[in-house]
Amino acid sequence: MRALVLSDTHGLLRPEVLALLPQAELVIHAGDVGKPEVLSALQQAATGPVHAVRGNVDTSSSLSDLPATELIEAGGRFLYLLHRLDDLDLSPQAAGIDAVIFGHTHRPEQRREGGVLYLNPGSVGPRRFSLPVACAWLDLPSLDVTPVHL
């Protein structure tokens, strides 16, 4: 299973992201959607499920209903989604979580600790600072990550 992992769109859905959607069996958005139209467009264009969590800018009434965290099972793996890694209030290893997916910093990052993958895909929204515009492919169940720079 191939998942497209996004974060921090901040109301901007780039055509390059839409072009990736047909290749994704699952779409994960790690928060700061920015506008409900972004989530609607992802849901309409995606060929599989779309999971999104609430970020710190998702304060509109239609986005404030997004969960702060979500645990999903996909491809035989347990994925824990949240926006700010600093808000992680459990031990992923003890909880049997295979990957923690987060955003907020706009900085692409992947590391493994205690057998758990920590993945920040970066931001596909407006460019900030000198950080790349980026997302990631996550292959399941292997947990192999392929960064995508747009």
For 108-134, what is the mean pLDDT? Answer: 96
Residue 131 DSSP symbol: P
Range of the domain at 8: 2-149
Sorting pLDDT into bands at 50, 70 and 90, what band is 128? confident
SS3 19: helix
Of 70, 77, 47, 92, the residue nearest 139 (C-alpha)? 77
CB of 80 within 8 A of CB of 71? yes
Q: Tell me the CATH number at 12.
A: 3.60.21.10
Per the structure, how many domains does the chain have? 1
Q: In Å, how far are 87, 136, 150 from 108, measured between CA atoms?
A: 18, 9, 12
pTM above 0.85, yes or no: yes
Burial letters 52-63, b for 16+ CB under 10 A, else e: bbbbebbeeeeb
